[in-house]
């Protein structure tokens, strides 16, 4: 069995943020990874030297951890043959088989890491827009009292909110009725529902690369095969998309045309129109993620792909998370009635319906959309320029294009691997998400997503830590006779 160093490093993404001596942190992290199914009994582990190199610690630390694991019956070793996770724990084997597909996802690990005392550059969750939310909260008592008369789950969503979302979509150029809207528990559930409806195991999904790692998780949990659509300065090329559709015959195309996550690219209107017409011609459903479409830095909000061909099979996903409050967990899907009806049945099987009280608050917040857009544009444009200036000053040689929308910089380092950079940074108290987490085909190991959603002083402190870690990585890369991050 080949050594799977990359899988091990992925499973240990937050190990250095634990308390205690380094070797004890590593031991506990490997044990947890086996329990959760990220690593499986019988899997071969890398040598002490290579693992130490991948997670940027001394070989002594890895040797001590491996010794502890052997003493506890977690590892088996034979001289000259390598080291394996022990096969003699049947309960762990069953747990690993059950959990392996979900546990390979980075999302849970990244959210757990972001809850430590480390600075969180892994997630793009902005602080709530308190100046708009707090004045609305006192009036929620009346709404809550009204909801106490309800016994229904309202699986498609609160009728008042569905009407409000329909008006919002219509005002953005896509004529919409309430029957063409279903309310979800955030944008992530919306993506997952679309995957569950449209994909069977083995089906192809045509996906931007790089793209939002939460979407990649949803596709993989659905058992889809992923085909990459390269994202350039002008987003995805309609010509390339057409070629890929002809080649792989996908059941679903996933696009984030405005504020592409993580690059911040914005698709030209002409490309949106061409893609919409192509989806109608080929009969393939587009899942259009507009969660970041209202975080746009110049001009007016671009039209949805769905607006160009209203009768096309386009499911447009939106959310209040980025604009108002990530923890509100209110999102939606806009699409043809036939698809919305099937999604409603599917959602009922998942959770019967999203919570009504947050939907009541969301209905009120929609009235404040223009002001929220104005405040967020002012806030994030300033933070984008602050982060960009610090990166240029403190990380020489690093390249990026200032995003036209969205919440992060997508930076490219000239040498080294950002997976190792993330490990070094974690030891200094900074949680990063390396480029391959956003990649369909692991071709973005030299890239890094850098969110600019934190307070100014924390953002500056985090970039200074990143510069320190990058300096260590650069020194290692220049002095190493073999490529940094080489797998064995």
Domain chopping of the chain, boundaries: 5-104, 109-129+371-479, 135-368
Mean of the pLDDT values across residues 101-109? 49
Place 484 in a pLDDT band, splitting at 50, 70 and 90.
very low
CA dist 232 and 239 (Å) reads 13
Place 17 in a pLDDT band, splitting at 50, 70 and 90.
low
How do 44-45 and 82-85 pair as beta strands? antiparallel
How do 430-434 and 119-121 pair as beta strands? parallel
Helix locations, 257-355, DSSP H: 269-282, 337-351
CATH code of the domain made up of 5-104: 1.10.10.10
| Number of continuous H segments (helices) and E segments (strands) in the chain | 18, 14
Q: Looking at residue 42, what is its pLDDT?
A: 80
Place 93 in a pLDDT band, splitting at 50, 70 and 90.
very low
pTM over 0.85: no
Mean pLDDT of the chain: 86
- Sign of the alpha-carbon torsion through 193, 327, 302, 266: negative
**Residue with more model confidence, 297 or 109:** 297
Helix, strand, or coil (residue 293):
coil
Mean of the pLDDT values across residues 451-472? 96
Residues 6+ away with beta carbon under 8 Å from 398: 391, 392, 411, 412, 413, 414, 470
Strands (E), 27-170: 44-45, 75-78, 82-85, 119-121
The tens digit of pLDDT for each residue in 328-378 reads 999 999 999 999 999 999 999 989 989 999 999 999 999 999 999 999 999
The tens digit of pLDDT for each residue in 365-391 reads 999 999 999 999 999 999 999 999 999
Residues 6+ away with beta carbon under 8 Å from 277: 308, 309, 312
For residue 78, what are the β-bridge partners? 82
CATH code of the domain made up of 135-368: 3.40.640.10
CA dist 102 and 112 (Å) reads 15
Angle at 254 between CA 250 and CA 257, to 5 degrees: 140
Backbone Cα Rg of the chain: 23
| pLDDT over threshold 80, residue 304 | yes
Give the number of other Cβ atoms within 10 Å of residue 79's Cβ: 5
Query: According to the per-residue pLDDT averaged within each range, which of 173-187, 301-315, 423-437 is highest?
Result: 173-187
Q: Are 290 and 335 in contact (CB under 8 A)?
A: no
231, two tokens: 């994202």
CA dist 292 and 315 (Å) reads 16
| pLDDT over threshold 70, residue 153 | yes
Percent of the chain with pLDDT over 70: 86
| pLDDT over threshold 60, residue 462 | yes
Mean of the pLDDT values across residues 108-118? 59
Q: Looking at residue 228, what is its pLDDT?
A: 93
Q: Looking at residue 257, what is its pLDDT?
A: 96
Residues 6+ away with beta carbon under 8 Å from 219: 195, 199, 205, 207, 226, 254
**Phi, psi (5° rounding) for residue 432?**
-120, 160
CA dist 46 and 15 (Å) reads 17
Q: Are 158 and 146 in contact (CB under 8 A)?
A: no
Q: Looking at residue 311, what is its pLDDT?
A: 79
CATH code of the domain made up of 109-129+371-479: 3.90.1150.10
Q: Looking at residue 488, what is its pLDDT?
A: 25
């Amino acid at each position: 069995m080949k050594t799977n160093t990359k899988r091990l490093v992925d499973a240990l993404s937050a190990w250095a943020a634990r308390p205690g001596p380094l070797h004890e942190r590593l031991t506990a992290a490997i044990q947890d990874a086996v329990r959760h199914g990220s690593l499986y009994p019988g899997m071969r582990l890398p040598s002490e030297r290579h693992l130490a190199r991948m997670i940027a610690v001394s070989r002594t630390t890895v040797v001590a951890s491996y010794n502890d694991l052997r003493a506890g019956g977690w590892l088996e070793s034979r001289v000259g043959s390598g080291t394996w996770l022990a096969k003699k724990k049947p309960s762990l084997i069953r747990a690993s088989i059950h959990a392996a597909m979900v546990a390979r996802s980075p999302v849970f690990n990244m959210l757990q890491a972001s809850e430590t005392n480390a600075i969180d550059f892994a997630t793009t969750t902005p602080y709530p827009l308190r100046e708009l939310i707090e004045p609305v909260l006192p009036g929620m008592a009346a709404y809550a009292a009204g909801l106490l008369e309800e016994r229904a789950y309202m699986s498609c969503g609160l009728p008042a909110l569905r009407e409000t979302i329909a008006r919002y979509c219509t005002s953005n150029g896509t004529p919409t009725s309430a029957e063409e809207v279903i309310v979800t528990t955030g944008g992530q559930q919306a993506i997952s529902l679309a995957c569950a409806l449209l994909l069977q195991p083995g089906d192809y999904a045509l996906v931007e690369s790089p793209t939002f790692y939460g979407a990649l998780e949803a596709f993989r949990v659905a058992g889809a095969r992923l085909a990459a659509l390269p994202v350039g300065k002008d987003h995805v090329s309609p010509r390339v998309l057409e070629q890929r559709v002809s080649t792989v015959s996908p059941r679903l195309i996933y696009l984030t045309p405005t504020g592409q996550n993580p690059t911040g690219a914005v698709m030209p209107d002409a490309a949106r129109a061409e893609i919409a017409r192509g989806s109608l011609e080929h009969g393939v459903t587009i899942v259009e993620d507009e969660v970041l479409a209202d975080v746009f830095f110049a001009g007016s909000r671009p039209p949805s792909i769905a607006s160009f061909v209203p009768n096309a099979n386009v499911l447009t996903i939106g959310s209040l998370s980025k604009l108002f409050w990530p923890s509100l967990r209110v999102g939606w899907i806009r699409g043809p009635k036939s698809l919305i009806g099937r999604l409603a049945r599917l959602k009922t099987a998942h959770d019967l319906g999203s919570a009504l009280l947050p939907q009541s608050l969301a209905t009120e917040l929609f009235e404040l959309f223009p002001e929220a857009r104005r405040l967020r544009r002012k806030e994030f444009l300033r933070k984008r320029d602050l982060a960009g200036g610090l990166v240029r000053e403190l990380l020489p040689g690093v390249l990026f294009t200032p995003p036209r929308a969205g919440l992060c910089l997508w930076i490219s380092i000239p040498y080294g691997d950002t997976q190792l950079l993330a490990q070094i940074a974690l030891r200094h108290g900074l949680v990063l998400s390396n480029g391959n987490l956003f990649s369909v085909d692991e071709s973005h190991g030299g890239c890094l997503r850098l969110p600019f959603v934190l307070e100014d002083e924390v953002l500056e402190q985090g970039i200074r830590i990143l510069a320190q870690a990058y300096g260590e990585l650069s020194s290692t890369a220049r002095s190493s006779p073999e490529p940094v991050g080489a797998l064995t």
